[in-house]
Amino acid sequence: MKKTAIIVAGGSGSRMNAPLPKQFLHIANEPILFHTLRKFEDIADQIILVMHPEWISFWNNTILDNNFTVKHTLVGGGNNRAQSVLNGLNMIEENCLVAVHDAARPLVSKNLITSTYENALLHGACIPVVQLKESIRQVLEESNSVAVDRSSFRIVQTPQTFKSSVLKTAFQTTEFEKYTDDASLVEASGKKIFLIEGEVTNFKITSPEDLTLAHNLI
């Protein structure tokens, strides 16, 4: 089955305190987005890059100036992540496997990407997760909290990968914008989510500290 990747690059990166959205910031002398797109280049048959319309011209100039050659289809994003994913999904006409990935996760391995595709083909919906290493507490109110068994929880990563028919069905609800990730939306439609082991290094770059760590790892 054909493999498609939707790379969501609509974030503003406000927590980075930087003049550019985080996906354009550099690690190892290249924009984060360059690293992310290359991870899918030899795996996905089609890459759809969803980006805020205000930054499309900047991106086009960036790839020209740097002779960046990874083929992708550029699509304008929406007012939120869910709408942006839907904009990318609307570009897909045939049945395929769809991996939705955060642009700010450039350290994802090709093995993990391939594994999500393979398991989505078998189960219809697959996401990578990692175990919590620290103890956690649930805050009940301002001055009250309770310990929670961390073994019952997982940290969710991307790519979140689905059969396109499964994802399109989930997006038919009028309330799709209230869901913060695609797996939650698909689960709400009645589909069970298959979990696989993710990677500690597949973290999302959201802070200056994350940027430094990603640079050192690369």
Residues 170-189: pLDDT tens digits? 999 999 999 989 999 999 99
Confidence band of 20 (pLDDT split at 50, 70, 90): confident
pLDDT in tens, 102-147: 999 999 999 999 999 999 999 999 999 999 999 999 998 878 999 9
Write down the pLDDT at residue 143. 80
Helix (H, G, I), strand (E, B) or coil at 18: coil
List all residues 6 or more positions away from 61 whose beta carbon is below 8 Å from its beta carbon: none
Write down the pLDDT at residue 13: 52
- Beta-ladder partners of 141: 144
Q: How far apart are CA 50 and CA 12, in angstroms?
A: 13
Which domains does the chain carry?
3-217 (3.90.550.10)
What predicted TM-score, i.e. pTM, was given to this entire model? Answer: 0.94
Q: If you average pLDDT over every residue of the chain, what do you get?
A: 94
pLDDT in tens, 89-111: 999 988 999 999 999 999 999 99
- Do 120 and 126 meet the contact criterion of CB atoms below 8 Å apart? yes
The dihedral region occupied by 28, where left means phi > 0, alpha psi between -120 and 50, and beta the remainder, is left
